[in-house]
Amino acid sequence: MHRILSRGVGTLAHALCCTLCYTMIALVGAGCEGTPSSEAPDGSATVVTTPDVTVADASTEAAAPFVPAADAAASAADASVSNPVAAPRDAVDANGVRGALVDIPFLADMGDGKQSLMLVDWEIPAGQEIYFCGRITLSEDVYFNEFYPMNPVGTHHTAMTVADRPNAPDGVALCDVSEIGRRSIGGSGVGTLGGRLPDGMAMKAERGNQLILNLHLFNTTDAPLRGRSGSLVSTVAASQVTTLVDGVAAGSTKLKVPPGQSVQTSVCTVQSDYTILRVFPHMHEMGRHMKVVAKRAVGEPVVLRDGPYDFTHQLTYPIDPPLKMAAGDTIEVACTFDNTTGEELHFGESSKDEMCIAALARFPAGGLSTCSF
């Protein structure tokens, strides 16, 4: 199988990039247990329609000719949150791999309280696994309190991160798992839905920061696949924000998953005081169950999550009431696998590799984005 993936990324750097991608998924409670599903009655992906744009699911039918988004006349430097202007649209079109940022103004009203953030129209040949990166530079501070992921068939993850300053031109390009910003603000796994932070809480991106959408696509079919992936959001005014939120990942990159059933357990040490809002379990196709336990110096252990895992329906689970952790406390993550490949599996970004990560939404924001490796 041909795969367009990062080569030569060091194991630790690779691990940090992968886990940062998943910390953001826990941030907004996307797909919280008990949240109404946005699936269509027949189980297919939702088609989100507004008067001006339709966001449709990917199809395994023969792909229609790909039409990249038109170039915008204004540059990202002219973009304004109060008077949004689309960023430049550089399209990818090579060897059957095509992608372009959707030509919708940044933070445009999409109806039902939703705003556009970043969406990529894409097409990939059968059997290929690739990454696209979309970039938009901000002209004003923005406070995000809700994300609505667009993750049709073929989308392994969407990962929205923030770089302190632009690290590449705005637009879309082929990339790898390592091309992310320093802070995470939103994202999705397979089947992740949308959700909102509690009142008064938000994630902040500042004027001059660059938003980076890291989009991992995997076409496991025998025909070309196309779709539209990315995120819609809701924003709030700075005056409505009292607490900033970010994420931290707990787990291990030293996986050796033998054929058959096994349990992989890791323990990490909390590096600073914070309160946990939500937990997002993440494994790949051989993952079957995850148990996450917080062990504090004061009080009994607290089970954050103990339940089955479905790669095609990855949800975030609220912690009610939120749990206070102190530096020196530990988080234990135990992942159960049923490896039917006949080969030993290791940590990796492909759906055919494995992971054992519990991504945690926490406040206050700040500190390391990983608990322990």
Residue-range domains of the chain with CATH: 28-39+53-243 (2.60.120.310), 246-363 (2.60.120.230)
C-alpha separations of 309 from 27, 194, 312, 325, 357 in Å: 19, 19, 9, 25, 12
The owner of tokens 């632009």 is 166
Identify the pLDDT of residue 65. 38
C-alpha separations of 97 from 131, 136, 226, 347 in Å: 10, 22, 10, 26
- pLDDT mean by block of 10 residues, the chain; 373 residues: 34 45 49 34 29 32 36 30 39 86 92 92 93 94 91 86 91 88 74 77 94 92 93 94 90 91 94 92 93 95 96 86 95 96 89 87 79 54
User: DSSP per residue over 198-222, as a string?
Assistant: PTTEEEEE-TT-EEEEEEEEE--SS
Three-state SS for 128? Answer: coil
Which among 267, 287, 284, 294 has a CA at the least distance from the CA of 336?
Answer: 287
Q: How far apart are CA 340 and CA 64, in angstroms?
A: 36
Identify the pLDDT of residue 191. 60
Identify the pLDDT of residue 14. 43
Identify the pLDDT of residue 120. 92
Q: How far apart are CA 99 and CA 228, in angstroms?
A: 9
The amino acid that residue 231 corresponds to is S
Q: Which two tokens stand for residue 351?
A: 């759906």
Identify the pLDDT of residue 75. 30
Identify the pLDDT of residue 303. 97
Q: How far apart are CA 77 and CA 10, in angstroms?
A: 34
Identify the pLDDT of residue 158. 85
Residue 11 sits at φ, ψ, to 5 deg, of -55, -45
Helix (H), strand (E) at residue 338: strand 330-339
Verdict on whether the full-model pTM lies above 0.95: no
Identify the pLDDT of residue 193. 61
Name every residue whose Cβ is closer than 8 Å to that of residue 166 and which is 6 or more positions away in sequence. 135, 137, 210
Identify the pLDDT of residue 84. 33
- Percentage of the chain beyond pLDDT 70 is 72
The owner of tokens 């919280």 is 32
Three-state SS for 69? Answer: coil
Q: How far apart are CA 321 and CA 278, in angstroms?
A: 10
Name every residue whose Cβ is closer than 8 Å to that of residue 83 and which is 6 or more positions away in sequence. none
Q: How far apart are CA 22 and CA 16, in angstroms?
A: 10
Three-state SS for 15? Answer: helix
Q: How far apart are CA 343 and CA 324, in angstroms?
A: 40
Identify the pLDDT of residue 181. 86
